[in-house]
């Protein structure tokens, strides 16, 4: 079959030469009727010169997702090498460990493909037409590389698939439905459900930050937006006399309770509540904390919602700063790509100003090393996690 070529504008060429991997539909030089969804196409400039190979999407405004700038075939061997390069990074960064994000989409030059490994259970998210077309190959390659895997699950039920004209999918691709799975985070065990939990079951991007949080834990702790208690368990185990975990989802709150019992953390209380209301109510009662974690879901899903998102972040951070005793710590995160580190820091400064507190930044962190950032592709840097001390 003849490979199809798609010509792009100078601006599109410049972008990919600078390390960006997306080409917007407005940068295609002509409509591309007849190119099938998810096809791998040759990308050329206005003169027909080869610029790379990319996945094509018939629906998304991101028409092309670059796979390579080299003139090599994007065949089985190509994808096997990409997967091996991703695996190699995790094996170096996490020697002997089996829980990590194995493939982080564009950052691993596999746009649209997210693969999380929870030991013997592997969870795949295919978010674009191109990624969707790789399903069978990925399962084959994963089985070859992880013969110990007892299940490969697909959690392609993220909303972004709609932008690609794809329906949500949640199913077992290999093995049997795994049920709940347990893994260690430092000295505590976590239990998540890869079929029913949020995203792929867990939030692996915060794992390294969970572990670091123990160093700052003391006194009365509060973990808002706790999900399965990743931060709360560390605080309760290492340094806080008592911890309150606040989580709005009933099923997640049940997992925190169950996990606290399993880990013998009898100093942990779970509040199934809206964290905004909880923080407000606590500030009215004059409650005080020594260690607070704020790890909300993304408030800015699009650029248009940036202002209201910043107001939301400021509200919870301001309240938290008012509730913290002098010498206490705030661990404050945002996973909104649109709120970049500079905006996040400015929001914190403004909250500190209103709270009349002096704040030290101890660490400006992001997602763990299994979520690398592709230089030239700001979109791959989404998580901010600041460790702060309130003076």
Q: In this complex, which beta carbon is closest to ligand SAH, that of residue 129 or of residue 228?
A: 228
Q: Is 112 in the site for ligand SAH (CB under 6 A)?
A: no
Question: Stretches 45-53, 137-145, 213-221, 269-277: which one binds ligand SAH (CB under 6 A)?
Answer: 269-277
**E-strand spans in the chain?**
5-7, 22-24, 40-44, 50-56, 62-68, 99-104, 113-118, 121-126, 151-156, 169-175, 181-185, 188-192, 219-224, 240-247, 268-272, 289-294, 324-334, 359-365, 384-390
Q: Is 220 in the site for ligand SAH (CB under 6 A)?
A: no
**Six-digit token string for 24:** 């917007």
Active-site annotation holder among 184, 335, 353, 385: 335
Question: Stretches 60-68, 95-103, 236-244, 272-280: which one binds ligand SAH (CB under 6 A)?
Answer: 272-280
Look up 353 and say whether it is catalytic.
Answer: no
Q: In this complex, which beta carbon is closest to ligand SAH, that of residue 45 or of residue 97?
A: 97
Q: How far is the CB of 352 from ligand SAH (least distance, A)?
A: 22
Residue 187 CA: distances (Å) to CA of 242, 244, 285? 17, 19, 34
- Asked whether the CA dihedral 32, 35, 36, 39 is positive or negative, the reply is negative
**Six-digit token string for 25:** 């539909």
Q: In this complex, which beta carbon is closest to ligand SAH, that of residue 224 or of residue 351?
A: 224
Radius of gyration of the chain (CA): 22
Helix 306-323 to helix 275-285 angle, to the nearest 10 degrees? 30
Q: Pick one of 27, 132, 295, 370: the residue that binds ligand SAH (CB under 6 A).
A: 295
Q: How far is the CB of 246 from ligand SAH (least distance, A)?
A: 6
SS3 69: coil
Q: Is 206 in the site for ligand SAH (CB under 6 A)?
A: yes
- Distance (Å, whole) CA 222 – CA 186: 20
Q: Is 233 in the site for ligand SAH (CB under 6 A)?
A: no
Q: Is 105 in the site for ligand SAH (CB under 6 A)?
A: no
- Distance (Å, whole) CA 107 – CA 109: 5
Q: How far is the CB of 272 from ligand SAH (least distance, A)?
A: 9
Question: Stretches 55-63, 87-95, 151-159, 198-206: which one binds ligand SAH (CB under 6 A)?
Answer: 198-206
Distance of CA 377 to the CA centre of its chain: 15
Q: How far is the CB of 205 from ligand SAH (least distance, A)?
A: 8
Question: Catalytic site residues?
Answer: 335
Contact residues toward ligand SAH (CB under 6 A) are 198, 203, 206, 225-228, 230-231, 246-249, 252, 274-276, 295-297
């Amino acid at each position: 079959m003849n490979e199809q070529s798609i010509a792009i504008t100078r601006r599109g060429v410049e972008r990919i030469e600078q390390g960006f991997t997306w080409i917007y539909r407005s940068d295609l030089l002509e409509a591309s009727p007849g190119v099938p969804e998810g096809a791998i196409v040759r990308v050329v400039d206005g003169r027909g010169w080869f610029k790379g190979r990319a996945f094509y999407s018939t629906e998304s405004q991101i028409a092309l997702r670059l796979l390579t700038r080299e003139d090599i075939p994007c065949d089985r061997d190509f994808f096997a090498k990409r997967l091996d390069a991703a695996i190699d990074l995790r094996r170096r960064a996490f020697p002997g460990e089996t829980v990590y994000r194995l493939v982080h989409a564009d950052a691993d030059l596999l746009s649209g493909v997210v693969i999380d490994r929870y030991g013997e259970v592997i969870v795949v998210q295919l978010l674009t037409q191109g990624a969707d077309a790789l399903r069978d190959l990925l399962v084959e390659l994963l089985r070859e590389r992880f013969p110990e895997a007892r299940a490969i699950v697909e959690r392609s039920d993220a909303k972004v698939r709609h932008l690609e004209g794809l329906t949500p999918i949640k199913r077992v691709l290999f093995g049997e439905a795994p049920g709940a799975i347990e893994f260690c985070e430092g000295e505590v065990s976590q239990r998540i459900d890869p079929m029913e939990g949020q995203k792929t079951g867990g939030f692996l991007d915060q794992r390294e930050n969970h572990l670091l949080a123990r160093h700052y834990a003391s006194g009365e702790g509060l973990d808002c937006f706790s999900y399965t208690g990743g931060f709360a368990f560390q605080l309760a185990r290492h340094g806080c006399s008592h911890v309150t975990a606040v989580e709005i989802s009933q099923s997640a709150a049940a997992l925190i309770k169950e996990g606290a019992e399993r880990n013998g953390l009898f100093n942990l209380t779970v509040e199934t509540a809206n964290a905004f209301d909880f923080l407000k109510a606590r500030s009215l009662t004059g409650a005080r904390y020594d260690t607070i974690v704020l790890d909300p879901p993304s408030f800015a899903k699009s650029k248009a919602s940036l202002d209201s998102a910043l107001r939301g972040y400021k509200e919870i951070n301001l309240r938290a700063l008012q509730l913290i005793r002098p010498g206490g710590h705030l661990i404050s995160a945002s996973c909104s790509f649109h709120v970049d580190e500079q905006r996040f820091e400015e929001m914190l400064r403004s909250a500190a100003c209103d709270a009349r507190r002096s704040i030290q930044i101890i660490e400006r962190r992001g997602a763990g090393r299994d979520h690398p950032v592709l230089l030239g592709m700001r979109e791959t840097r989404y998580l901010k996690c600041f460790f702060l001390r309130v003076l």
